[in-house]
């Protein structure tokens, strides 16, 4: 049976949460692989862009979180729980998200496609910045890479991804995904 968007978020957010909780307090200011970002900015990115996306596209408001600068662990935990509650709510499956770039799609699918995928990829960024386990689920890496490859030009034009990094075709799927999104694995 295929996983629901709620199931997928629970699994992906658990891995990210492990990295958040595993970050030593002094490591929050370590440089991250995203140019100009520190480790805490990886969390900041996830907790700041997504609530605005939900509110504008579906009229959904997540709980207000404390500042990432004050407590990145509490901020992430509260945000994660708010997203999970949204996905666990049976009414969410009947709501639509409307966005000028993607049209109208079911809210749970929008969360899965845009947000949960982002959390998954940024798990590596936080792990790299803080010296933690960088291993990502190879099946999820393959799923994302297969879905993104046909959209290469659109993704690059969005400004959300850096220039593609060249890696050997023989590289493992995680390395190929990270290189595709502009990381130097």
- Helices H / strands E in the chain, number of each: 8, 2
- State whether the Cα torsion 51-153-150-125 is positive or negative: negative
Quick: pLDDT tens for 124-151: 999 999 999 999 999 999 999 999 988 8
Expressed in percent and rounded to 5, the helix, strand and coil fractions of the chain are: 65, 5, 30
Quick: pLDDT tens for 23-59: 999 999 999 999 899 999 999 999 999 999 999 999 9
CB 42 within 8 A of CB 17: no
- φ/ψ of 136, rounded to 5, equals -110, 160
CB 146 within 8 A of CB 163: no
CA distance 4 to 87: 9
CA distance 98 to 31: 35
Q: At what angle do helices 39-58 and 117-130 cross, to 10 degrees?
A: 170
CA distance 84 to 119: 13
- φ/ψ of 103, rounded to 5, equals 80, -150
Tokens of residue 99, six digits = 């966005």
The pTM of this model reads 0.94
Q: Quick check: 74 pLDDT over 90? A: yes
102: pLDDT confidence band, cut at 50, 70 and 90? Answer: confident
């Amino acid at each position: 049976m295929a996983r629901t968007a709620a199931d997928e978020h629970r699994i992906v957010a658990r891995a990210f949460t492990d990295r958040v909780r595993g970050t030593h307090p002094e490591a929050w200011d370590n440089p991250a692989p995203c140019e100009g970002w520190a480790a805490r900015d990886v969390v900041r990115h996830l907790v700041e862009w997504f609530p605005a996306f939900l509110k504008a596209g579906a009229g959904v408001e997540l709980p207000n979180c404390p500042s990432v600068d004050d407590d990145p662990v509490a901020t992430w935990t509260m945000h994660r729980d708010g997203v999970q509650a949204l996905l666990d709510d049976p009414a969410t499956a009947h709501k639509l998200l409307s966005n000028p770039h993607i049209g109208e799609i079911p809210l749970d699918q929008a969360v899965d496609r845009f947000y949960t995928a982002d959390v998954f990829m940024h798990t590596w960024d936080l792990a790299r910045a803080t010296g933690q386990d960088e291993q990502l689920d190879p099946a999820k890496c393959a799923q994302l890479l297969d879905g993104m490859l046909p959209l290469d030009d659109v993704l690059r034009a969005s400004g959300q991804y850096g220039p593609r990094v060249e890696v050997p075709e023989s590289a493992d799927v995680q390395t190929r995904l990270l290189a595709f999104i502009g990381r130097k694995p």
